[in-house]
Amino acid sequence: MKPAPFDYVRPDTLAEVCALLAGDEDARVIAGGQTLVPMLAMRLARPAKLIDILRLPELAGIREEAGRVIVGATTRQAKAERDPVIGASVPMLARVLPWVGHPPTRNRGTVGGSIANADPSAEIPLVAVTLGADILLATTDGPTSMPADDFFIGPMLTTIGQGECVSAIRFPVWPHQRIGVGFFEISARRSDFAFVAAAAQVALDDAGRCLEVALGVGGVGDRPLRLDVSSLVGTELDATSVAAAVNAAAGELDATSDLHASAAYRRRVASVLCIRALEQARVDASAKSRKGAR
């Protein structure tokens, strides 16, 4: 047995989970365990208690309400990948999920687990920040929420406090008819950690002009970042405008330098992938019918 000993509990309610977490600073939540169990096996983490939330009915499921899609924290990545609501209303999430790990890890790994783990190169946190999602939290004082941009504060670091547990992620749904998404990432091998990832979503009007745009990069710095390319609204997302907007927004990114890639490489690749992602999103949106439903 590789992990250090721990107690295992599987509470029946979310309130119990929060109470257990509040009462024991050495307790950790486990859901899919696809990142936590390797850390336990290598003894990089040695929690005294594991609180299993995977089967809590309160945390499962995907629903659309009031123009937003709420994805329960323990929704398996494999399930989200094929969910029709996510495919139709949060296409960026559907696009990136095949890049998260491998099929066997997506069968166990959860959407909320990836958020709580806050790996700077992870795709799901990138989508949450880029689209401006809210992270819903269960706490001992009841439910609360926080914008994704405020939730991630560093590598594997979030603002989550003791006694709190991610309960769901609330993604905004754009009201427009013609929406397209683009995504690119560079890694050593498919499904390895991305050195750089870029995700874009655009909405076009009937004439092909940009109504709304969201662009984000992951893997570049110590957390996913949304880039301000609002100057593209009103343009036809032509190559010149896109290059100018991306270079203005991504030129000075605070990038990490490590064994795999230098900061200069990450900045250069980020600009290139942002331009490609915006172009892919524009082409995707252009292919959508001008009148019909998405």
Partner 1 sequence: MKVDLRINGANHSADIEPRKTLLDALRENFLLNGTHAGCEHGVCGACTVLVDGEPVRSCLMFAVQADGYEITTIEGLAPAPGELSVIQDAFCETHGLQCGYCTPGMILSAHALLQHTVTPTRDDIVEAISGNICRCTGYGQIIEAVEFAAARLRIANTPRPHHGGPHGRAEGKPIVEAK
Q: Which is nearer to partner 1, 3 or 208 (CB)?
A: 3
Closest approach of Cβ 191 to partner 1, in Å?
6
User: Is the Cβ–Cβ distance between 106 and 81 less than 8 Å?
Assistant: yes
Length of the chain equals 294
d(CA 294, CA 285): 9
d(CA 79, CA 108): 10
Which stretch, 38-46, 174-182, 207-215, 269-277, contacts partner 1 (CB under 8 A)? 38-46
| CB-CB neighbours of 142 under 10 Å | 9
Which stretch, 20-28, 36-44, 247-255, 283-291, contacts partner 1 (CB under 8 A)? 36-44
Which stretch, 49-57, 59-67, 172-180, 283-291, contacts partner 1 (CB under 8 A)? 49-57
Q: Does 42 bind partner 1 (CB under 8 A)?
A: yes
d(CA 126, CA 96): 9
Q: Which is nearer to partner 1, 35 or 201 (CB)?
A: 35
Closest approach of Cβ 259 to partner 1, in Å?
18
d(CA 255, CA 163): 33
Closest approach of Cβ 163 to partner 1, in Å?
22
Q: Which is nearer to partner 1, 187 or 235 (CB)?
A: 187
3-state secondary structure of 146: strand
User: Is the Cβ–Cβ distance between 118 and 155 less than 8 Å?
Assistant: yes
User: Is the Cβ–Cβ distance between 184 and 98 less than 8 Å?
Assistant: no
Q: Which residue in 17, 21, 50, 250 binds partner 1 (CB under 8 A)?
A: 50
d(CA 25, CA 37): 19
Q: Which residue in 78, 86, 96, 166 binds partner 1 (CB under 8 A)?
A: 78
Segment 138 to 167, residues that bind partner 1, using CB under 8 A: none
Q: Which is nearer to partner 1, 18 or 54 (CB)?
A: 54
Q: Which is nearer to partner 1, 30 or 232 (CB)?
A: 30
d(CA 219, CA 152): 13
Give the rounded distance of the alpha carbon of 106 from its chain centre.
14
Q: Which residue in 140, 145, 187, 191 binds partner 1 (CB under 8 A)?
A: 191
Q: Does 57 bind partner 1 (CB under 8 A)?
A: no
Q: Does 107 bind partner 1 (CB under 8 A)?
A: yes
Burial of 82 by CB count in 10 Å (0-12 exposed, 13-18 middle, 19+ buried)?
A: exposed
Beta bridge partner(s), residue 8: 50
Closest approach of Cβ 78 to partner 1, in Å?
5
Q: Does 249 bind partner 1 (CB under 8 A)?
A: no
Q: Which is nearer to partner 1, 11 or 208 (CB)?
A: 11
User: Is the Cβ–Cβ distance between 154 and 7 less than 8 Å?
Assistant: no
User: Is the Cβ–Cβ distance between 24 and 45 less than 8 Å?
Assistant: no
CB-based contacts of 248: which residues, under 8 Å, 6+ apart? 231
Which stretch, 11-19, 40-48, 58-66, 121-129, contacts partner 1 (CB under 8 A)? 40-48
Closest approach of Cβ 192 to partner 1, in Å?
10
Residues that bind partner 1 (CB under 8 A): 1-8, 30, 33-34, 37-38, 40-42, 50, 52, 54, 76, 78-79, 81-82, 98, 101-108, 190-191
